[in-house]
Amino acid sequence: MKSNQKFLLIAPWDYQLYVVIEKNLRHLGYQVTVVHNNDYPFRLNDLLIKLKYKVRKIFSSHKDDNRKLYNLYLDEKRMSLIKSNKKYDICLVIRADVFSKNLLHEAKKRSSKFISFFYDGLTFNQHILSLIPLFDHFYIFDKTELYAFKEHNVKYAPNFYFDYPELNNTTDYRGNKIYYISSYNSCRIEIIESFYKYITQRISPVQFDLIYTSENEHELTESVKQYFNCTQTLVPYQEQLKLIQHTEIILDFKMTFHSGFSFRIFDGIKLRKKVITTNPFVINEDFYHPNNFFVLNQNNEHGLDDFLKRAYVPLDERIRAKYSFESWLKTVTDY
């Protein structure tokens, strides 16, 4: 336990992943301050910031100006959270590209250790490269990009599984044999549809939840609308974890624009569940076992029948523990 150490977590709103990270940090004994990139509800102690915003708004009638003013209010709110402590022992910034440089500089000034983790592909997000020198260490989750970006001194750290006690290690399959939830993306919908048609002829119950936006609603096929639970309601990451605890097999359909391992790979490791994935790089990892991971592509669905019959092979506990959040955090902050 790192009792009394002050930890600044700057992270995107994405499915409220930061909520689970904060819980795990508090479990490890840190005093945590969180800054995210979504809206903030008004609180009484924000009165001065809110008044400044209201005064500015009175003198601006244009909608775009009002939005800019509101963004300024949010920037001030985030900055006030950072300034609530004179010094932090550690600051971890996830997806630094969604935060302003002023905010990052203020966080750096107040932090003994200043680290960034980027769980997206650098190849298609090269706008972040200019921010890398700000950090003591900059970690990426896609090992295949280390060589291409070696001049930027990036380091590799995969994703992880959460290990605070509230998330139990159940292997009780009281829900669906397969439960899958993801956001819609055109690069993987074809193989997801194909897999659904194949697997529902062999096992049940199966449930696929697909989260879409109004911008991509027109891309949903009739079969997806018919067989998937399509929704525009975001399911918080903590709720997703609870849902997959009660599935027998975890699914992981990789994005085409990076090769990093998603959180689902590590959820499988934590929960001791079999994983069907489209990421071929799992076969090179120390956690891989052919009984536990099936690498799916467009031509090998027939191999699933044999995979489904095989018993799960328990992973060496030393390897399993290596991918916990506690272990991950020690790796990226131990300098």
Distances (CA, A) of 234 to 19, 199, 293: 14, 25, 28
Q: Which residues fall within 8 angstroms of residue 253, CB to CB, at 6 or more apart?
A: 182, 188, 191, 192, 195, 277, 278
Q: Which residues fall within 8 angstroms of residue 149, CB to CB, at 6 or more apart?
A: 122, 129, 140
pLDDT at 294: 98
pLDDT at 44: 45
Mean pLDDT of the chain: 90
Q: Is the pLDDT of residue 149 over 50?
A: yes
Which residue in this structure is represented by tokens 């109004």? 214
Q: Is the pLDDT of residue 42 over 70?
A: no
Higher pLDDT, 47 or 284: 284
Please report, rounded to a whole number, the percentage of residues in the chain having pLDDT higher than 90: 77
On whether the CB atoms of residues 235 and 209 are closer than 8 A, the answer is yes
Is 178-322 in the same CATH topology as 6-157?
yes
Please report, rounded to a whole number, the percentage of residues in the chain having pLDDT higher than 70: 88
Q: Is the pLDDT of residue 63 over 70?
A: no
On whether the CB atoms of residues 224 and 193 are closer than 8 A, the answer is yes
pLDDT at 276: 97
In this predicted model, what pLDDT tens digit does every residue of 213-269 receive, in sequence order?
999 999 999 999 999 999 999 999 999 998 898 899 999 999 988 899 999 999 999
CA–CA separation, 250 vs 180, rounded Å? 7
Higher pLDDT, 229 or 176: 229
Beta bridge partners of 161: 324
In this predicted model, what pLDDT tens digit does every residue of 109-132 receive, in sequence order?
999 999 999 999 999 999 999 999
> What count of other Cβ atoms lies within 10 Å of the Cβ of residue 93?
27
pLDDT at 61: 54
Three-class secondary structure of residue 317 per DSSP:
helix
- Per-residue confidence at 172, pLDDT binned at 50, 70, 90? low
DSSP 212-237: --TTTGGG--HHHHHHSEEESSPPPH
Three-class secondary structure of residue 39 per DSSP:
coil
Classify domain 6-157 at the CATH class level. alpha beta
* Mean pLDDT confidence for 59-66: 53
Amino acid symbol at 332: V
Q: Is the pLDDT of residue 64 over 90?
A: no
Q: Which residues fall within 8 angstroms of residue 69, CB to CB, at 6 or more apart?
A: 53, 56, 57, 60
Q: In the chain, what are the domain boundaries?
A: 6-157, 178-322
* Mean pLDDT confidence for 82-92: 97
pLDDT at 257: 85
* Mean pLDDT confidence for 160-182: 78
Question: Comparing C-alpha atoms, which of 98, 101, 81, 80 is closest to residue 8?
Answer: 81
Q: Which residues fall within 8 angstroms of residue 282, CB to CB, at 6 or more apart?
A: 261, 265, 275, 288, 293, 295
Instruction: Return the CATH number of the domain spanning residue range 178-322.
Output: 3.40.50.2000
Structure tokens at 140: 């990426």
CA–CA separation, 57 vs 63, rounded Å? 10
Q: Is the pLDDT of residue 19 over 60?
A: yes
On whether the CB atoms of residues 66 and 57 are closer than 8 A, the answer is yes
Q: Running DSSP on this structure, what letter comes out for residue 86?
A: S
On whether the CB atoms of residues 205 and 224 are closer than 8 A, the answer is no
Helices (H), 100-236: 101-109, 189-199, 222-227
Structure tokens at 252: 């992981």
pLDDT at 60: 55
pLDDT at 73: 77
Q: Is the pLDDT of residue 46 over 80?
A: no
Q: Running DSSP on this structure, what letter comes out for residue 94?
A: E
